[in-house]
């Protein structure tokens, strides 16, 4: 276990991380592995999953790729079965999958097609419902404790004109977290949430390529004067997944470099 993670002990825990093939999911997987966890890389893209598996195994931990579509209940159930077949247990679920559909752009609600709304809600909220449902049911049946870390967004808390559907879905994640934390605390199942601000990922790199002045302007309104890195989210997720936060449930932590309010307008 690395020195930086000695206080956050996930030694021999088994964690499912959805969307672990790149970006924040990969950062979470890497931090968890550094803290001693074995990782189920639940990812729809098999090539990206293999890259994360190689990173985790390079840190001396076990990892398996499981091709998963978290918007489909049968795929989520297969993900859980693959986890139990490989490791015999599950300790942690990180619901990381999410995002907008297509390139971020403002679609006024009066012009938004119902299928677009449904797709965004499915990717960001229904996926977390399905994964929480499967894992909580498993833990109750086994009478074992578990920890869930849901990933929401700062967009859940502020007007998010770029995607009203995305902001609404992420707000739903926060309420889902609070409700499940309250309902299942007596079964020793903790459910918490991270709401990231701007994070440097391949998606944001592509989005702002050639628009460095826009990114620099956004850096200036962040009190810590930079975008977050995936491992910034990973470190907080490791805390929430570990016994270090054993008396914390139903909570959402804002991890945004101090930026508590912003309006995003992307062309």
Catalytic positions are 166
Vertex 127 angle, CA 155 and 260, to 5°: 15
Contacts 24+ apart (CB under 8 A), 80-85: 80/16, 80/134, 80/135, 80/138, 82/40, 83/14, 83/16, 83/40, 84/138
Q: What residues form DSSP beta bridges with 42?
A: 18, 66
Q: How many C-beta neighbours within 10 Å does residue 46 have?
A: 12
Q: How far apart are CA 171 and CA 194, in angstroms?
A: 12
Question: Do 253 and 52 form a contact (C-beta atoms < 8 A)?
Answer: no
Q: How far apart are CA 120 and CA 147, in angstroms?
A: 25
């Amino acid at each position: 276990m690395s020195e930086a993670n000695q206080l956050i002990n996930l030694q021999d825990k088994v964690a499912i991380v959805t969307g672990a093939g790149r970006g924040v999911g990969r950062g979470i997987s890497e931090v968890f592995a550094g803290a001693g966890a074995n990782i189920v890389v639940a990812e729809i893209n098999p090539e990206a999953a293999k890259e994360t598996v190689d990173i985790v195994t390079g840190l001396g931990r076990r990892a398996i790729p499981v091709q998963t579509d978290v918007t489909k209940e049968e795929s989520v159930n297969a993900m859980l079965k693959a986890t139990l077949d490989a490791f015999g247990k599950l300790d942690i679920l990180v619901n990381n999958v999410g995002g907008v559909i297509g390139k971020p752009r403002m679609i006024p609600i009066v012009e938004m097609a119902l299928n677009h709304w449904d797709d965004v809600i499915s990717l960001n909220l229904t996926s977390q419902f399905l994964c929480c449902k499967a894992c909580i049911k498993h833990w109750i049946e086994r009478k074992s404790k578990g920890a869930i870390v849901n990933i929401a967004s700062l967009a859940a808390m502020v007007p998010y004109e770029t995607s009203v559907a995305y902001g609404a879905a992420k707000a739903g994640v926060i309420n889902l977290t609070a409700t499940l934390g309250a309902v299942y605390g007596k079964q020793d199942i903790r459910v918490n949430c991270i709401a990231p601000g701007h994070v440097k990922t391949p998606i944001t790199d592509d989005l702002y390529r050639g628009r460095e002045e826009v990114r620099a302007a956004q850096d200036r309104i962040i009190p810590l004067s930079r975008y977050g890195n995936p491992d910034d989210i990973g470190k907080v997720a490791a805390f929430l997944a570990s016994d270090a936060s054993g008396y914390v449930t139903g909570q959402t932590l804002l991890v945004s470099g101090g930026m508590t309010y912003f309006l995003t307008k992307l062309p």
